[in-house]
Structure 1
Amino acid sequence: MITGPARGAVLALAVFLLAVRPLPALSAPAQATLLADAAYGGELKERIRGAKRRIICAFYLFKVTDRRGNVPAGLAQELAQARGRGVEVTVILEGDDAVGRDNRAAAGFLSRKGVRVIFPRGRRTTHAKAVVIDDRYVMIGSHNLSHAALTRNRELSVLLDAPPLAAQVTRYLEGIR
């Protein structure tokens, strides 16, 4: 067994090797765009508008209000319009009491527009914030769909043009039940 300072060096080397080891499923280079703070909402809106086949997403919080300029309300409208043009849209939301009421309000609107909304069962919290569009684009990071997260908070997410990663994230999201 390695102890003392040597143990720290071995652990650091192991972490480094794990970090630089390429993931087999992601051998193709991914195009990445950093989405800091309020940049996320506009990018998500444009990606939803450009969707042709499928959108699957999961959020811990999707807080739609009737206040003028509410960004999540606009995104809910965009998802409904995508569904209206024939895009398959699935939204997975946390249903616990802390955020469940807000999420159920968004879910009600989306469901009435034909969007498939899932509230997973079980004891595990769905804290993921991820979007996959057309099996190609992945948006993943810290952004919830709340007005504060999309306009005022310090949030950081990334947009990736990476079909292999999109397939992995889609499989993960489809496994949330």
Structure 2
Amino acid sequence: MATPQIIADADYLPMLLNLLNKAQKSIDIMEYSFAIGSATGKLNRKSAPFEIAETLIEIKEALGKKIHIRLYIEGFRETSSRNLVTAEYLKPHGIEVVYGATHAKGFCIDNKYLLFGSTNLTQQSILKNHETNLLLTDKKAIAGFNKYFEFHWDGGSHGGVILPPPMIADGIFKDVLINMIDRAEKSLAFSIYFFHISEIEKAFIRAHQRGVKITGLIHQHDAFALSYVRRTRGTAERLLEAGIKEIHYGPGTLFTHSKYLVMDNKEVMLGTGNWLHEDVKVHPQLYIHLKDPVLALNLSKHLQKTIRSVRKNHKDYTRSMSL
């Protein structure tokens, strides 16, 4: 298996557009949020999501029946109204759409390339957030994504499908994550958006007590989903009180939205699920678990680079834990 490429932050858009323009036969898309405009239907034609939508339309118009483009998109949660605007813009151009429940985010192109991770198709997510994705060409990973996509396309729901390794569907990610933490011998490095599951928290504390070095980057914000932010801050405070000192907050001015864990610079778990009970029990998610030391080391370095950037560029980095 070729080592996946890390596609993070602002690198996502040019990579996605490059992959889309290689498509010849199929593009399958799963997205929680794809916003080309407001919920009232006002389009933002200068936005990154609109550029992606226009690229999809151009590809379909150029290749016609030679290419099959499908979009499975969240149709129930708070982002659904903006998703509807995007879907209704795409459908007249021959792009098939199914509405359902998903928090997964990924593009599979010609069954050759899989771009998968934390980035939503919103202006904020694509151009401003700290996001982390993987570009994979591995046939097993692509087969797992395809199975998940087809299951939901055909009306499947949370918890109804078991995927072949290395892909992990829905709430199973929690047990795999805890197992990784409990097997760690030297180091654990992670980035997470929302974090409030006591079993995962206690696993980190156990790892710290047996001498494992732990480094974490955790989201904070003062203007969105504050109940989740407060719960996440509570987790961070308890980890710090337990003696885990390398717990860092992301900037309050943008979202630290990546979701991954690196164990001993040997294994990686990366995906879409927050470490919340809701994301384990209710909201459909997708993770990948890879035993790849090269990827693990690269992702650890990426985390350290992100932490250094946050500390250098954002004054609110050291803000009080009591906020």
TM-score under structure 2 length normalisation = 0.44
Deviation at 1:143, TM superposition (A): 0.4
Instruction: Name the % identity.
Output: 27
State yes or no: 1:78 paired with 2:55.
yes
Query: Which residue of the other structure, out of 129, 137, 140, is the alignment partner of 2:116?
Result: 140
Aligned to 1:90: 70
Which SS does the other structure have where 1:56 is aligned?
A: strand
Q: Which residues of 2 match residues 4-153 of structure 1 at below 5 A?
A: 29-65=1-37, 66-84=43-61, 85=63, 86-120=66-100, 125-153=101-129
Aligned residues between the structures = 145
2:269 counterpart residue number: none
Cα drift, residue 68 of structure 1: 4.5
Distance in 1, matches of 2:118 and 2:45, equals 24
Partners of 2:146 and 2:71 lie apart in 1 by 12
Kept in 1: contact 2:28–2:107 (CA 8 A): yes
Which among 123, 140, 146 is matched to residue 170 of structure 1? 146
Between the aligned partners of 1:70 and 1:110, the Cα distance in structure 2 is 16
Q: Contact conserved, 1:95 with 1:119, CA < 8 A, in 2? A: yes
**Displacement of 1:90 after TM fit?**
0.4
Q: Could you state the TM-score of these two structures normalised by the residue count of structure 1?
A: 0.78
Q: 1:81 offset after TM fit, Å?
A: 1.7
1:130 is displaced (CA, Å) by 1.2
Q: How many angstroms apart in 2 are the aligned matches of 1:92 and 1:103?
A: 10
* One-letter amino acid of the structure 2 residue matched with residue 64 of structure 1: I
- Where structure 1 has 5 or more consecutive residues not aligned to the other structure, the ranges are 1-28
1:97 Cα deviation from its structure 2 partner: 4.4
Q: Deviations over 1:58-83 (max 9, x none)?
A: 01000002335200001011111222
Q: Secondary structure at the match of 2:4?
A: strand
Equivalent position amino acid for 2:7 in 1: L
Structure 2, unpaired ranges of 5+: 38-42, 156-323
Amino acid at match of 1:151: L
Q: Are 2:20 and 2:56, in contact at CA under 8 Å, matched by a contact in 1?
A: yes
Cα displacement string for residues 1-28 of structure 1 (whole angstroms, at most 9, x for unaligned residues)? xxxxxxxxxxxxxxxxxxxxxxxxxxxx
Alignment of 1:159 with 2:135, yes or no, is yes
Question: Do 2:74 and 2:99's aligned partners in 1 also have CA atoms closer than 8 Å?
Answer: yes
* Contact 1:82/1:89 (8 A) holds in 2: no
SS in structure 2 opposite 1:175? helix
CA RMSD for the aligned pairs?
A: 1.2
Residue aligned with 1:119, SS: strand
Greater relative contact order, per chain length (Cα 8 Å cut-off, separation 6+): 1
